[in-house]
Amino acid sequence: MVLLDGKETSKKIQEELKEKVDQLKKEGKKIPHLAAIIVGDNGASLTYVNAKVKACEKVGFESTLIKLSESTTEEQLMKRVKSMNENPDIDGYIVQLPLPKHINETKITMAIDPAKDVDGFHPENVGRMALGMPCFLPATPAGIMELLKRYEVPTEGKHCVVIGRSHIVGSPMAMLMWRNELPGNATVTITHSRTQNLKELCLQADIIVAALGKAEFLTAEMVKEGAAIIDVGITRVEDTSKKSGYRLLGDVKFDEVAAKASFITPVPGGVGPMTIASLMINTLKAIEMKELI
Ligand code: NAD
């Protein structure tokens, strides 16, 4: 079994990006600038945003973090989004989701300039991805593809079962796995909460991407010997032995599934760090995207 080490791979990608930034500096070119807007004080969201900003600093990008209070109105947030679109110094930006209930997420996502949408959530980027045109790929699926590529996990002609059909993970993941390039060229089955024969489908899978958000859902009896397992899930469970008071569990019952798997991602240290690495890759790409979108 090969452990798909997202932490190490992400570190390597960040070193590569740092070299590129150093080169840009030497050539007197613009340094990529990522901005992040966060509304409210959701603990998990703050942790994610801080990790993204820290990663920017590490690779030498410029970064701006805008923290807005929970009571920010949709109109106020919309104004911020517009000023980000118009600011030539900002190459890419994200609006951290989820937003407070009184703000319409779709409206905000649609207002982001597709050429600065480094999260890849704008419908124009989703459509471009579907058509194989230049675009920003959503960070989590793109990070998984990068991991599959770097570890040379075979995908061509393989049967990939994706568990979960969300717009940010399951659906784009399926799309990237079936596209006509490598990694990709897999035969894909996408499953969801209404799927009736999930265990049978999983038992036929050469690759399983578990992205449903239910701790330790995928057990050894659902997995074929030699399958490659990608665990996207992150669930916080109380753990008084930890300083933070919690630990993270994936969607895969790691020990028993690892014993049957050819490749597997751990949680933490698998897909999570790759998501951040992809966002950095997208930010570097944002400089060229201005001409392409
Ligand atoms: P979501 O709640 O939007 O979607 C979950 C999907 O799972 C839905 O499509 C639903 O139909 C499906 N589902 C639910 N129960 C199911 C069942 N019993 N059988 C089959 N399908 C079922 O979640 P999401 O935003 O896609 O995130 C999924 C998980 O991935 C969460 O734990 C989230 O925290 C994690 N996540 C991790 C990263 C990362 O960087 N590692 C990034 C994004 C999301």
Pair (149, 218) in one structural domain: yes
**Is 285 part of a structural domain of the chain?**
no
* Ligand 1 atom index nearest CA of 274: 40
φ/ψ (deg, to 5) at 228: -95, 135
pLDDT of residue 288: 83
Of 110, 142, 129, the closest CA to residue 282 belongs to: 142
The residues that bridge with 162 in the sheet, in sequence order, are 190, 209
Q: Is 119 a catalytic residue?
A: yes
Catalytic annotation, pick one of 5, 91, 113, 119: 119
- Verify whether ligand 1 is closer than 6 Å to residue 195 (CB atom): yes
What is the layout of strands, in order, in the sheet containing 207-210? Answer: 2-3, 263-264, 228-231, 207-210, 159-163, 187-191
Pair (266, 146) in one structural domain: yes
pLDDT of residue 291: 75
**Is 279 part of a structural domain of the chain?**
no
β-pairing, 235-238 vs 246-249, is antiparallel
- Verify whether ligand 1 is closer than 6 Å to residue 278 (CB atom): no
CB 231 within 8 A of CB 271: yes
**Is 44 part of a structural domain of the chain?**
yes
- Verify whether ligand 1 is closer than 6 Å to residue 236 (CB atom): no
CB 47 within 8 A of CB 75: no
Pair (62, 143) in one structural domain: no
Cα 170 to averaged position of ligand 1 atoms, centre (Å) = 7
Pair (154, 212) in one structural domain: yes
CB 233 within 8 A of CB 216: no
- Verify whether ligand 1 is closer than 6 Å to residue 211 (CB atom): yes
**Is 17 part of a structural domain of the chain?**
no
Cα 213 to averaged position of ligand 1 atoms, centre (Å) = 4
Cα 212 to averaged position of ligand 1 atoms, centre (Å) = 3
Instruction: Give the CATH number of the domain where residue 161 resides.
Output: 3.40.50.720
* Ligand 1 atom index nearest CA of 143: 40
Of 250, 245, 216, the closest CA to residue 43 belongs to: 245
- Verify whether ligand 1 is closer than 6 Å to residue 213 (CB atom): yes
Number of domains in the chain: 2
Cα 76 to averaged position of ligand 1 atoms, centre (Å) = 30
Asked if the peptide bond before residue 123 counts as cis, ω within 30 degrees of 0, the response is no
Instruction: Give the CATH number of the domain where residue 63 resides.
Output: 3.40.50.10860
Q: In this structure, what is the dihedral angle of CA atoms 258, 175, 118, 12, given to the nearest 10 degrees?
A: 40
Cα 238 to averaged position of ligand 1 atoms, centre (Å) = 20
pLDDT of residue 289: 84
Pocket test for ligand 1, best of 171, 199, 200, 212 (most atoms within 8 A of CB): 212
The residues that bridge with 92 in the sheet, in sequence order, are 34
Pair (47, 157) in one structural domain: no
Residue 219, amino acid: T
Pair (107, 61) in one structural domain: yes
Q: 154: domain range?
A: 139-272
| Residue 12: CA count within 13 A, CB half-sphere | 10
What is the layout of strands, in order, in the sheet containing 62-68? Answer: 62-68, 33-39, 92-95
The helix (H) or strand (E) run that includes residue 161 is: strand 159-163
**Is 4 part of a structural domain of the chain?**
no
Pair (158, 266) in one structural domain: yes
Q: Which residues have C-beta within 8 Å of that of residue 124, sequence separation ≥ 6?
A: 114, 117, 135, 293
pTM: 0.96
Q: Is 52 a catalytic residue?
A: yes
CB 248 within 8 A of CB 234: yes
Pair (145, 255) in one structural domain: yes
Pair (110, 143) in one structural domain: no
Catalytic annotation, pick one of 5, 14, 96, 251: 96
Name the closest-CA residue to atom 4, ligand 1. 166
Distance of CA 252 to the CA centre of its chain: 18
| Residue 262: CA count within 13 A, CB half-sphere | 15
Q: Which of 114, 149, 172 is the last residue of a domain?
A: 114
**Is 161 part of a structural domain of the chain?**
yes
- Verify whether ligand 1 is closer than 6 Å to residue 170 (CB atom): yes
* Interatomic CA distance for residues 283 and 156, integer angstroms: 29
Q: Which residue ranges in the chain fall short of pLDDT 50?
A: none
Pair (201, 246) in one structural domain: yes
Pair (190, 157) in one structural domain: yes
Pair (202, 85) in one structural domain: no
β-pairing, 33-39 vs 62-68, is parallel
